[in-house]
């Protein structure tokens, strides 16, 4: 009887992690074979390919993240085209509730697959199960970064509601931060255990290990972050300048040493959406501070790729994972584990690949910390040193237009800042880095806790 009820629910739209089981009995049936479960997940994978999804982000979402952060300046006069992009995060906070519900929709599909796929030992079955675990782990990772406060070992904050079974009666409250992290870790390791081998499923062992590196880095488990980053760098070494330039200049195809990339197919509507957001970003010139990070100017291959002569953003928008990010995780992880020489060498190794005729930094020649930078403390709350500041600056240049800076601000102190337009001041407060839990769930689930700053949201 329960399986029959679940069959009716399979394709029901989910409104939240608690209402994703709402059903109407229209004669739909639950998948039986691995092929049918594969089709369920392929609708999600197809969205990733076309750049129209929520799991790993897409071009427009990456563009929005750049608008929330501090690499792009505002125009003090009105540009109609520029009004299509957010001036600051405050304009999009309410809409972030949709991201919350959409991620739980994907988790629902993964739970159906994990709970009801019987063909678990065939190669196809293992590919499908591995993909379901990987997708669920990635969704919970995104929920952690967006809807939980930054990691704080001394003062843990709540995690997110954990839904791991297709249960019509489940109304979970928020888990602990540690429980959310454990869920992500277990799901990604389970995906690795199933050893996805068909490239059509996208989330192979390398991608899962990359997300583990990201998770451990975000939660300050730096030894483990360095371990996984180093392993991936063995397989995906840093590119020299010309191959790097070719990779960054290619908007759609997965090229170079990218470990993972969304939007690898140019559908007409998705291409239009991507072109529009890139056009709108031309109304937000790069800040002078960001421009000044490129001390070597044209000798740095990233300089001309990042902005034009008018300081307007020129780089393609990527939702991806690539080895340079792993190199930066490695450098900072070495720093936080007091392996100073290794951290410095990892930093210099990246700079040699990006800057022609560069002179390696030494501990004595590192540039001083810029007191005007928004980031004034590290992830542990300590004052920045010249070495860590240099690592953060390289990360800021390297991952520009890849949606990284917003999360770097969140990870390193949630600094408050403001922008101005047409005589008005728009402030990004520290609590805005953590997005609101879906408001209707607060009414449905007794004891479900909203994030600070949204106590009166309806």
How far apart are alpha carbons 458 and 454 in whole angstroms? 9
How far apart are alpha carbons 401 and 356 in whole angstroms? 22
| Helix, strand, or coil (residue 322) | strand
The pLDDT of residue 19:
46
The pLDDT of residue 79:
57
Cα separations in angstroms, 341 against 163, 335, 344: 43, 9, 5
Domain 2-282+304-432 class, CATH top level = mainly alpha
How far apart are alpha carbons 6 and 128 in whole angstroms? 20
The pLDDT of residue 20:
45
The pLDDT of residue 84:
82
Low-confidence ranges of the chain (pLDDT < 70): 1-29, 76-82, 168-169, 456-458
N residues, the chain: 458
Q: Tokens 């917003």 appear where? A: 406
Q: Tokens 């390696």 appear where? A: 360
| Helix, strand, or coil (residue 445) | coil
437: tokens are: 């839990």
Half-sphere exposure of 70 (CA within 13 A, CB side): 21
Query: In degrees to the nearest 10, what's the CA dihedral of 60, 63, 67, 72?
Result: -150
* Cβ–Cβ < 8 Å for 77, 168: no
* Cβ–Cβ < 8 Å for 150, 414: yes
The pLDDT of residue 13:
34
Q: Apex CA 101: angle with CA 57 and CA 259, to 5°? A: 25
């Amino acid at each position: 009887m329960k399986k029959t009820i679940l069959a009716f629910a399979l394709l029901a739209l989910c409104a939240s992690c608690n209402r994703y089981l709402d059903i109407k009995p229209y004669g739909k049936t639950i998948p039986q074979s691995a092929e049918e479960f594969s089709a369920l997940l392929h609708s999600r994978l197809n969205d990733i390919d076309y750049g129209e999804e929520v799991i790993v982000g897409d071009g427009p979402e990456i563009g929005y993240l750049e608008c929330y952060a501090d690499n792009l300046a505002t125009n003090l006069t009105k540009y109609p085209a520029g009004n299509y992009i957010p001036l600051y995060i405050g304009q999009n906070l309410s809409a972030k509730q949709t991201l919350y519900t959409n991620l739980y929709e994907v988790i629902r599909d993964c739970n159906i697959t994990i709970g009801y796929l019987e063909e678990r030992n065939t190669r196809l079955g293992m590919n499908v199960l591995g993909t379901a675990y990987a997708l669920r782990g990635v969704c919970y990772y995104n929920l952690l970064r967006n809807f939980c406060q930054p990691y704080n070992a001394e003062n843990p904050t709540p995690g997110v509601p954990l839904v791991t079974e297709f249960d019509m009666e489940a109304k979970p409250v928020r888990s602990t931060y540690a429980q959310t992290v454990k869920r992500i870790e277990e799901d990604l390791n389970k995906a690795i255990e199933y050893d996805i081998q068909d490239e059509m499923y996208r989330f192979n062992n390398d991608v899962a290990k990359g997300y583990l590196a990201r998770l451990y880095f975000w939660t300050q488990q730096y030894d483990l972050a360095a371990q996984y980053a180093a392993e991936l760098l063995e397989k995906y070494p840093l590119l020299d300048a010309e191959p790097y330039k070719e990779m960054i200049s290619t908007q759609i195809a997965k090229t170079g040493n990218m470990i993972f990339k969304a939007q690898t197919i140019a559908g007409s509507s998705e291409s239009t959406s991507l072109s529009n957001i890139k056009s709108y970003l031309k109304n937000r010139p790069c800040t002078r501070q960001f421009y000044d990070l490129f001390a070597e100017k044209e000798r740095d291959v990233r300089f001309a790729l990042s902005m034009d002569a008018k300081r307007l953003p020129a780089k393609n928008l990527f939702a991806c994972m690539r080895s340079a990010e792993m190199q930066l995780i490695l450098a900072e992880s070495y720093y936080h584990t007091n392996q100073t020489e290794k951290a410095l060498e990892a930093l210099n190794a990246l700079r040699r690949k990006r800057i022609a005729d560069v002179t390696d930094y030494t501990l004595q020649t590192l540039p001083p910390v810029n007191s005007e930078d928004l980031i004034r403390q590290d992830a542990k709350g300590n004052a920045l040193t010249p070495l860590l500041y240099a690592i953060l600056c390289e990360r800021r240049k390297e991952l520009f237009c890849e949606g990284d800076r917003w999360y770097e601000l969140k990870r390193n102190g949630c600094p408050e800042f403001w922008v101005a337009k047409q005589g008005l001041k728009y402030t990004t407060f520290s609590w805005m880095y953590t997005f609101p839990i879906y408001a209707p769930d607060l009414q449905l689930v007794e004891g479900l806790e909203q994030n600070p700053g949204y106590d009166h949201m309806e």
